[in-house]
């Protein structure tokens, strides 16, 4: 929407200058005399001049906006990441455009293509749980679109990545369950397509190994849709129950809340007996019943770091060839004894 806002041309006419002089004055270029600058700035201020970013984008072939793809914003982990992204982006005068894949590959691709055609300057993406083929991203990347992956990252894709220390986070959580006396620990996790799934599985296995507990593949359940459908959770839970686990370690935010819900629906009594540990950035964990031990990711910081890396790529004079994968530590938040004993 453009209103009857004044343009650079109007200012030029009013001041008897050329549009280029006005443009340069507005952008504070060294060629322009202080006097002219003042004149222009004052007048621009007076008429409340706002540069038209559309025109600027067309000319400069960039939009000062970055695209974000997450599976869903109704997820504390992702909304915190987004807040981190915004905190840096706004500071550096970038605009962000958020899209949700809802864990669908098709939706993800559609959104990315849409964003790319909207002339975003760079892309921040956490892959959907369905995504296996990222050729479409390779194409865009090859054509010059800077991409930074976070959380759910691909292998064999040379660019910046920001992830949590998934191995350690899982190890710690599983070890915590073991140290509280659990021996039959189930693992509920995401699609095997995802990096986080593989890394978190390894942490889980390593903790078991450390305490000489045999790894039982039957105790691992995968949810292909990342818990978007409650059926997949309930099925997983039902398959797990006969194995009589005394603990369960859950590998992601949506899954953690969904699993507790499924446990409660399936066998509420059991839900309160089994020890639960899971990745989640929910700020409501303290309200949950049954309560759980949670692995929190530094989501806000992850967004910040990813954005800094992305903007550095966007603004790099020469092609970036030195890529880094930043690994951020997670935090294990144990159940508060008081809460779990007295009132549950």
Partner DNA sequence: CTGAAAGCGCTAACAC
Partner DNA sequence: GTGTTAGCGCTTTCAG
Give me 36's structure tokens: 């002219």
Torsion sign, CA atoms 163, 157, 75, 229: negative
Q: What is the DSSP letter of 243?
A: G
80 is a contact residue toward DNA (CB under 7 A) = no
Task: Give the Å distances, CA to CA, from 342 to 336, 338, 339.
Answer: 10, 6, 6
- Report the side by side order of strands in the sheet with 147-150: 95-100, 65-70, 122-125, 147-150, 161-164, 325-328
Regarding 4 and contact with a copy of itself (CB under 8 A), the answer is: yes
* Residue 36 binds DNA, judged by CB under 7 A: yes
Q: DSSP assignment, residue 338?
A: H
Q: Which does 338 bind (CB under 5 to 8 A by kind): a copy of itself, DNA, none?
A: a copy of itself
287 binds a copy of itself (CB under 8 A): yes
Give the Å distances, CA to CA, from 80 to 70, 115, 280, 283, 303.
11, 21, 12, 10, 8
Question: Binder to DNA among 42, 55, 179, 209 (CB under 7 A)?
Answer: 55
| Backbone torsions φ then ψ of 68, nearest 5 degrees | -125, 130
Window contacting DNA (CB under 7 A); options: 10-18, 146-154, 168-176, 316-324 = 10-18
Binding status of residue 46 toward DNA by CB under 7 A: no
In the three-class reduction of DSSP (H, G, I as helix; E, B as strand; rest coil), residue 245 is classed as coil
- Beta carbon of residue 35, minimum distance to a copy of itself (angstroms, whole number): 28
What, of DNA, a copy of itself, none, does residue 114 touch, CB below 5 to 8 Å by kind?
a copy of itself
| Among 30-38, 71-79, 250-258, 304-312, the segment contacting DNA (CB under 7 A) | 30-38
Cα–Cα distance between 314 and 303 in angstroms, integer?
16
Q: Answer yes or no whether residue 41 interacts with DNA by CB under 7 A.
A: no
- Complex with DNA: residue 54 or 344, whichever CB lies closer: 54
121 binds, among a copy of itself, DNA, none (CB under 5 to 8 A by kind): a copy of itself
Interface with a copy of itself, residue 1, by CB under 8 A: yes
Total of residues contacting a copy of itself (CB under 8 A): 61
């Amino acid at each position: 929407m453009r209103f009857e806002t004044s343009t650079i041309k109007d200012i030029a006419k009013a001041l008897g200058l050329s549009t280029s002089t006005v443009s340069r004055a507005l952008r504070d270029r060294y060629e322009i005399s202080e006097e002219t600058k003042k004149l222009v700035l004052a007048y621009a201020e007076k008429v409340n001049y706002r540069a038209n970013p559309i025109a600027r984008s067309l000319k400069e072939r960039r939009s000062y906006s970055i695209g974000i793809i997450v599976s869903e914003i109704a997820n504390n982990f992702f909304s915190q990441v987004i807040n981190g992204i915004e905190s840096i982006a706004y500071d550096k005068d970038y605009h962000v455009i958020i899209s949700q894949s809802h864990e669908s590959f098709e939706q993800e691709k559609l959104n990315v293509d849409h964003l790319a055609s909207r002339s975003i300057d760079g892309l921040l993406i956490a892959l959907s749980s369905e995504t296996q083929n990222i050729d479409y991203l390779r194409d865009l990347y090859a054509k010059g679109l800077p991409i930074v992956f976070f959380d759910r990252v691909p292998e064999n894709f040379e660019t910046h990545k920001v992830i949590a220390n998934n191995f350690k986070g899982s190890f710690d959580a599983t070890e915590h369950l073991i140290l509280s006396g659990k021996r039959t620990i189930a693992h509920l996790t995401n699609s095997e397509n995802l990096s986080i799934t593989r890394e978190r599985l390894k942490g889980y296995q390593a903790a078991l190994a450390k305490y000489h507990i045999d790894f039982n593949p039957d105790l691992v359940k995968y949810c292909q849709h990342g818990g978007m459908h409650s059926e997949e959770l309930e099925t997983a839970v039902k398959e797990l129950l006969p194995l009589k686990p005394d603990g369960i370690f859950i590998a992601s935010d949506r899954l953690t809340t969904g699993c507790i819900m499924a446990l409660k629906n399936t066998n509420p009594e059991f839900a309160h007996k089994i020890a639960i540990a899971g990745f989640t950035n929910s700020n409501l964990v303290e309200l949950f019943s049954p309560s759980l031990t949670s692995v929190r990711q530094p989501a806000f910081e992850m967004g910040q770091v990813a954005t800094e890396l992305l903007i550095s790529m966007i603004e790099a004079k020469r092609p970036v060839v030195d890529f880094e994968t930043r690994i951020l530590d997670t935090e294990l938040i144990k159940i508060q004894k008081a809460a779990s004993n007295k009132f549950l």
